[in-house]
Amino acid sequence: SIYEMFGNECCLSTGEVIKVIGFKINKLIASICENNEVSQFSAKVELPLNFPGLYKVVADKTPYVSIEEITRKVSIGPTRFGHPCFYSTEDIKLATLTIRHGEQITFNSVEEVNGTMAVNCGVVRNNQSHSFTLPLLQEGKFYECEDDQIYTLKEIAEWKIPKCRNRIVKLSSTLHMWDSSNPLPENFDGCLSLTPVYEVQAVMKFRKDIVHILSDLDVEVKDITDCYDINSFLQPLSLENVFERTSKEFPMAAEIMEGPSGNQKPCKLLHTGKEIIIYKKYQATRVLASEIRSDSPKRYFLIPMSYKGKFKRRPREFPTAYDLEIARSEKEQLHVVATKAFDSPHKELFSVSVGDQFLVQQCQTSEVLHEGRKEFIDVLTCEQILSDTHKKVLLPMYMEGGFVEVIHDKKQYQLSEICKEFRLPFNVKVSVRDLSVEEDVLAAVPGLQFEEEITDYYLLISSASSPVESWEVPVYRLNMSVHLLNKDVQTLVPPVTKTTVEEISEEQYYMVRRYENQTLHPPPRPPKKPT
């Protein structure tokens, strides 16, 4: 018989036939590093994959000696994590171009080219991308490039720990307050060396779920792959695997082998053993929103454009004059009141008192005297609102003050109207809840900041037994496995789609923002105060 402990198989009966479908990191053993080196006296702590925090990956100093070694040890795949970057210590001469030593090479995918296995690669020169292939037989010294992205421990475990190597990471953000249950020292902000502990994922002949076997289980096995019909086993697929299928293969029938854990479920039908219909794959727009509150923890949401509630505006806060310039629009004049005093070092510019009110006009250049010399600086033209008149004033763009918006607009807006008419970020509160759902989670939130529109990936599913309504399932935020059923799908047109507001964790919020913004250029920094 098979015994299970903490979700892992710990005993297998003699003669049991299992099909290994993958290896997965179960947990991490962490040691504190000094100067990127692990001391022999460093205490080792065990970290679960959901341990909070965001981390930067430290580039591995040990080179790879061939492209084949990289493909064998490093995860390369179609998702946004699966594009590692390396550089060669020597020039690589190809038929169409020469890759210079030290030049960053992005590895995109592995495939067969003219009968030879090769890696599809790319380099960027003068903002132009150049694609090429490198054969697995290509030898040399290849080093990892520095990575400026941030990751959760789970993402690092799945994508950023090469096989047979450890990984050093630096803590970037803790996200949570330290407490006594935290295995790391209080106020720790250094580097950790991560050693993975693996588990084997397998399927069995007469079981419909995925079996998890710890890699240190003391059991002898024999490879019978060549003399056994492996097609008699179920083939588990992740949501990412399903999404990678061609559009012509949809709709398809499937059975859930492992449902999402905890509060992950976006709908009630996602549990182990449930038969579902997957109608199609697609991209959809969401508005990323955060709760407006001064203390933590905040709540974060992804709101579909089909949300039927209505919103009223809430005042925005601006820490600098530069933020006023970014926020102003042609649609309406920005009216603000100062919440912090500012004493101008130049007589040509205005000194602000708490309570002063302004109508923001435009940015311009103005001449000022600085230590007896004339200088030109960027200023913001405003109209100060006095009791019976308006007075033109100039505020330096570097001014660090504080302003809060005065709202005159009492109109109620649909989500789509806000995205069309105003520039995000934008502050609102729900004035009319969405009556099409039983519980509108946004209605109980006192204030929301719409931060940006994002594009995300979804599968549309319904129950196979009673396809009354269909649900959108996020591909990259839901850990779920299915196996496809050899059944004809009778209902080709999906039933009414239920789109819901998705509440996401703080870590997921930072991940979503990172992916959406990695192709965008950051806004220019505010001008500095003259010295």
pLDDT tens digit sequence for 318-361: 888 888 888 888 778 899 999 998 888 788 888 889 999 999 99
What percent of the chain is modeled with pLDDT above 70?
89
Q: How many domains does the chain have?
A: 3
Q: In what order do the strands lie in the sheet with 317-320?
A: 317-320, 400-405, 335-338, 357-370, 373-385, 390-396
Question: Averaged over 102-121, what is the pLDDT?
Answer: 89
Task: State the pLDDT at residue 102.
Answer: 94
* Kind and range of the H or E run holding 415: helix 415-421
Q: Are strands 275-291 and 496-498 parallel, antiparallel or unpaired?
A: unpaired
Decide which of 431, 454, 477 is a domain's last residue: 454
Do residue 351 and residue 323 come from a single domain?
Answer: yes
CA atoms of 234 and 273, how far apart (whole Å): 13
**Is residue 361 a part of any domain in this protein?**
yes
Question: Averaged over 443-459, what is the pLDDT?
Answer: 91
Q: Based on the number of CB atoms within 10 Å of its own CB, is 457 exposed (0-12), middle (13-18) or buried (19 or more)?
A: middle
Do residue 166 and residue 305 come from a single domain?
Answer: no
Q: Taking a C-beta distance cutoff of 8 angstroms, is the pair 392, 348 a contact?
A: no
Task: State the pLDDT at residue 520.
Answer: 38
- 362-393: pLDDT as tens digits: 888 888 877 778 888 888 899 999 988 999 98
Do residue 180 and residue 91 come from a single domain?
Answer: yes
**Is residue 58 a part of any domain in this protein?**
yes
**Is residue 510 a part of any domain in this protein?**
no
**Is residue 391 a part of any domain in this protein?**
yes
**Is residue 47 a part of any domain in this protein?**
yes
Q: Is 408 left (phi over 0), alpha (psi -120 to 50) or beta?
A: alpha
Do residue 299 and residue 179 come from a single domain?
Answer: no
Q: Taking a C-beta distance cutoff of 8 angstroms, is the pair 193, 30 a contact?
A: yes
CA atoms of 161 and 29, how far apart (whole Å): 13
| Cβ-Cβ contacts under 8 Å for 367 (sequence gap 6 or more) | 348, 374, 375, 376
Do residue 40 and residue 161 come from a single domain?
Answer: yes
Task: State the pLDDT at residue 431.
Answer: 94
Residue with the bigger pLDDT between 136 and 231: it is 136
Task: State the pLDDT at residue 490.
Answer: 73
Token duo for residue 184: 């790391």
Do residue 337 and residue 300 come from a single domain?
Answer: no
Task: State the pLDDT at residue 523.
Answer: 45
CA atoms of 21 and 204, how far apart (whole Å): 11
Decide which of 199, 219, 235 is a domain's last residue: 199
- 300-309: pLDDT as tens digits: 999 999 999 9
Do residue 49 and residue 167 come from a single domain?
Answer: yes
Place of tokens 């903002």: 127
Do residue 47 and residue 107 come from a single domain?
Answer: yes
Residue with the bigger pLDDT between 78 and 410: it is 410
The count of other CB atoms within 10 Å of the CB of residue 259 is: 19
- 137-148: pLDDT as tens digits: 999 999 999 998
Do residue 301 and residue 441 come from a single domain?
Answer: yes
Task: State the pLDDT at residue 524.
Answer: 46
Do residue 390 and residue 444 come from a single domain?
Answer: no
Residue 73 predicted with pLDDT over 90 = yes
Beta bridge partners of 304: 286
Domain that holds residue 428: 288-314+413-454
Question: Averaged over 32-36, what is the pLDDT?
Answer: 76
> What is the rounded average pLDDT for all residues in the chain?
84
Residue 526 predicted with pLDDT over 60 = no
**Is residue 57 a part of any domain in this protein?**
yes
DSSP per-residue letters across 136-202: TT-EEEEEEPP----B-HHHHHHHSS-TT--EEEEEEE--S---TT-SSPTT--SEEEEEEEEEEEE
Task: State the pLDDT at residue 265.
Answer: 62
- 212-223: pLDDT as tens digits: 887 777 778 888
Question: Averaged over 102-127, what is the pLDDT?
Answer: 89
Residue with the bigger pLDDT between 351 and 268: it is 351
- 404-427: pLDDT as tens digits: 999 998 999 999 999 988 888 899
Q: Name the range with the highest mean pLDDT among 177-186, 280-289, 290-299, 460-469.
A: 280-289
Measured CA to CA in angstroms, residue 341 lies from 45, 344, 353, 371, 380 at distances of: 49, 10, 5, 24, 16
CA atoms of 311 and 428, how far apart (whole Å): 6
Question: Averaged over 2-19, what is the pLDDT?
Answer: 66
**Is residue 363 a part of any domain in this protein?**
yes
Measured CA to CA in angstroms, residue 343 lies from 150, 373, 396, 486 at distances of: 39, 20, 11, 75
Residue with the bigger pLDDT between 80 and 462: it is 462
Question: Averaged over 13-27, what is the pLDDT?
Answer: 83
Do residue 352 and residue 449 come from a single domain?
Answer: no
Residue 515 predicted with pLDDT over 60 = no
| pTM (two decimals) | 0.66
Question: Averaged over 202-217, what is the pLDDT?
Answer: 76
Do residue 192 and residue 297 come from a single domain?
Answer: no
What percent of the chain is modeled with pLDDT above 90?
34
CA atoms of 44 and 55, how far apart (whole Å): 18
The count of other CB atoms within 10 Å of the CB of residue 337 is: 16
**Is residue 89 a part of any domain in this protein?**
yes
Token duo for residue 114: 């003219």
Q: Where are the alpha helices (DSSP H) in 292-351?
A: 321-327
Of the candidates 102, 75, 74, 76, the residue with the CA atom closest to the CA atom of residue 88: 102
Helix, strand or coil, per DSSP, at residue 93 = strand
